[in-house]
Amino acid sequence: MPTLTITYQTPEERRAYERAIAFVAEMHRIGADAPDGGVIDACESVALSQGRDLLRDTLAAAIQARAEGLEKKSTPPAATRRAARDGGRGRS
């Protein structure tokens, strides 16, 4: 059986990949189990509900990760903020 190796950076990213893989597996299962003549309707129903949720949550996570990354870049460490407040002089 073939295998798939995925490289991820965060636990959240890993969960997103696992969720996407589960979605694809579910679509295949639904398609295989649907009655003759009902495959498109069954798969479309899952795609419109679960697929929409997957896309919305993935988009929200990507935006949140970007926002958190920008916050980290723009927020100087406390020592830097203190030095700026003191005009670059150390406290005595």
Domain range annotation of the chain = 11-85
Averaged confidence pLDDT in the chain? 86
> Given pLDDT bands bounded at 50, 70 and 90, which one contains residue 81?
low
pLDDT of 12-38, one tens digit each? 899 999 999 999 999 999 999 999 999
What is the C-alpha separation between 15 and 8, in angstroms, rounded? 10
How many percent of the chain have pLDDT more than 70? 80
Asked if the model's pLDDT at residue 73 lies above 80, the reply is: no
Q: Any idea of the CA torsion for 82, 85, 90, 92, to the nearest 10 degrees? A: -100
pLDDT at position 27: 95
pLDDT at position 70: 83
pLDDT at position 12: 87
